[in-house]
Structure formats: structure tokens, C-alpha cells
Amino acid sequence: MKGGLLRVLQQPDSSGGHFQELLLKGVPQELVETVKYTGPGYAIFMQGSKILHAVTPVLEAREPRYSLVNSYMTRDVFLRDPTKYHTFLSKGFDDRKDVVPLEYARHKAWRVKGQMKYILDEMAPGATPEEIAKILETTSEELKTSALLLREQQQDNAAFVDDGKTDGRAEAKRGAGRKGGMQPVTVRSKL
């Protein structure tokens, strides 16, 4: 196979402030390692949202290349939800467009159900009106945002995604001062 090399930034955490700094200054090439696989069938496990990585384009191969991404999340419905609706609609993903909105809505319904179940079954008497109101407001905002995303009236693109559907903020953050280095890639899946 020619191409298809996994390049990984050897840095403990590329999220948050570290990631923003990399966007502005560029990726130091001396910290980029190319993963060398022993042969077909080998894989790597990593928390891709925390590790800056990219795959070079496959230029030539004997057979199709398959990618499998397992996504995990906490069962705590009160923690920030990292799910991005746009990732299921991005170019290069083969998720069925007639299934994606419903699956996303089911995910959000599961979270809201958990938050309401907490009020119904677990919230202790004596909770302040402010504590109760905060949960209701947060849940309401999550539902409102989800509805806007489904109607394509709002975008939730991450700043490093370049799939042509950004709202302009990503381009501004990516702009001046960025040196060479790893570029965003389109992921293609045949599964």
C-alpha cells in the first residue's frame, strides 16, 4: 500500500488550550510520529479527540481500506456531551442520511430522560428552586440546540474540521500565523 500512514502528535494532550496553540503556531514536525504497522489486520487504540492525528491519503492499495471508529461516552447525563451532529453528516462518512437525524434525536432523548429521571427519582427534598430550575434550563437548551442542528439552522463544527460546512469561526481561528504540519483529513468508511 502506498499512503494511508497514521501520523500522531507525541504530546500528552492536544485538546483545549494546547490544541488552540497548535492551531495558531502549527504542529512541530519533530513531535510527529508515523505509526508503523507490522502488517494487515493491525490496529491502534487511542482517544482520538485528545490526540492530534491524521492519515495520509491512500494512493494505491491491493484491496479497500476499512476504518472502524468506536465511540464511547460517559453514562453521566449531566456531563458535557461531546457528540457533534455534523460529524454524522460530513463528507466522506457513509452513515445513512435517513437514519442519522433519528439516531441523533434518540441520543439526545436518552440524555434528557436521564436528567428528568434524576429529578423524578433521585433529587432530594429540600433542593432549592434554583438547583431545579438550572437542570430544567440546561435540559431545555440542549433540546433547543438539537432542534436547530436538525433543521440545519445552527452548526456544531469543531474548529479543526474542514468539511465545507463551517460557520466561519473555524476559518478565522485557523487563519494567520499557522505554519505547515498536519492538515485535517476526510475519513472514508466502507462499513
pTM reported for the whole predicted model: 0.60
Query: What whole-number distance in Å separates Cα of residue 126 and Cα of residue 142?
Result: 26
CB-based contacts of 183, cutoff 8 Å, min separation 6:
54
Return the biggest CA–CA distance within the chain. Answer: 66
C-alpha neighbours within 13 Å on the C-beta side of residue 162: 12
Cell matching residue 133: 430550575
Cell matching residue 109: 432523548
pLDDT tens track of the chain, all 191 residues?
Answer: 888 888 888 877 666 677 777 778 888 888 899 988 887 788 888 877 777 888 888 888 888 877 777 777 789 999 988 888 887 776 656 667 788 899 999 999 999 999 999 999 999 999 999 999 999 999 999 999 999 999 989 988 755 444 443 333 223 222 333 333 333 333 333 32
Tally of CB atoms within 10 A around 27: 21
